[in-house]
């Protein structure tokens, strides 16, 4: 009986292999068939693309005060307080406490970010330039959305100016002279250089004057919490 089954298997095996070869997939099966594409030139030809980018920038404003990651003792705004006359870091039972600012807070230093217990210098740098990136995305691609009226386009430009100005205002008072980036980079770049703080403040002041003119009052916006004329006025005052 065992010999019979073995002979049958030996006979059927070549037939199975031959059949598989005859019905094998064609080269067309290997062609990718993605459900969607993410291409800036396509995404940012629609108003919803601009709105999504501004929504991410809105969400990021919260990160100047608290954040979405776990941290046991501190929040980002605490760093601002410690480097001002408002507070002093009093924790003494942590070996990672930064006590000698002159030796630790240097350009070549390695600053902890989102989940550390002490200072959020690197966190503020990353969050600041993330917000600038989102604002520059809107400003770079908004002319591709041909369905917008000029008033609606100006509203989005003004809101993007707010986000960029808010981040740059924080960064220049945190770090001094910093790289000024006003458009989306299309190729990798390493030749960054710093722009004077005064020149950056002059630029964002001019931007916010336009934002105050173009961004509607809260009552004319569809949702609470969007960048509105009152917020633009307050930032311009600063």
Q: Which of 13, 192, 232 is nearest to 107 (CA)?
A: 192
pLDDT at residue 116 in the model = 47
CA distances (Å), 183 to each of 58, 64, 227, in order? 19, 23, 21
| pLDDT of 22 over the 60 cut | no
Q: Which domains does the chain have, with CATH numbers?
A: 43-237 (1.25.40.390)
CA 155 to CA 216: how far, in whole Å? 7
Determine contact, residues 163/227, Cβ cutoff 8 Å: yes
Determine contact, residues 138/160, Cβ cutoff 8 Å: yes
CA dihedral sign, ordered 120, 126, 128, 134: negative
Tokens of 109: 């230093």
CA 219 to CA 228: how far, in whole Å? 9
Residue 14 banded pLDDT, cuts 50, 70, 90: low
Sole residue written with tokens 């959305």: 145
| pLDDT of 169 over the 80 cut | yes
**pLDDT tens sequence across 119-132:** 777 888 888 999 99
CB atoms within 10 A of CB 65: 11
Percent of the residues in the chain that have a pLDDT greater than 70, as a whole number = 71
């Amino acid at each position: 009986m065992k010999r019979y089954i073995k002979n049958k298997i030996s006979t059927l095996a070549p037939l199975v292999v031959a059949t598989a070869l005859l019905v094998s997939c064609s080269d067309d099966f290997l062609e990718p068939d993605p459900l969607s594409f993410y291409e800036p030139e396509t995404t940012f030809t629609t108003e919803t693309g601009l709105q999504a980018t501004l929504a991410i920038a809105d969400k990021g404003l919260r990160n100047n005060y608290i954040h979405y990651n776990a941290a046991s003792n501190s929040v980002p705004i605490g760093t601002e307080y410690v480097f001002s006359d408002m507070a002093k870091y009093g924790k003494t039972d942590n070996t990672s406490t930064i006590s000698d600012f002159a030796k630790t807070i240097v350009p070549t230093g390695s600053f902890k970010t989102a989940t550390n217990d002490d200072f959020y210098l690197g966190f503020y740098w990353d969050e600041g330039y993330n917000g600038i990136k989102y604002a520059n995305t809107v400003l770079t691609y908004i002319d591709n959305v041909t369905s917008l009226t000029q008033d609606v386009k100006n509203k989005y430009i003004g809101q993007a100016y707010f986000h960029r100005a808010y981040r740059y205002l924080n960064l220049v008072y945190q770090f001094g002279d910093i790289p000024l980036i006003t458009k989306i980079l299309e190729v990798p770049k390493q030749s960054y250089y710093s722009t004077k703080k005064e020149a950056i403040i002059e630029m964002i002041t001019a931007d916010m004057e336009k934002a105050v003119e173009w961004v509607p009052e809260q009552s004319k916006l569809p949702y609470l919490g969007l960048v509105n004329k009152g917020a633009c006025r307050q930032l311009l005052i600063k």
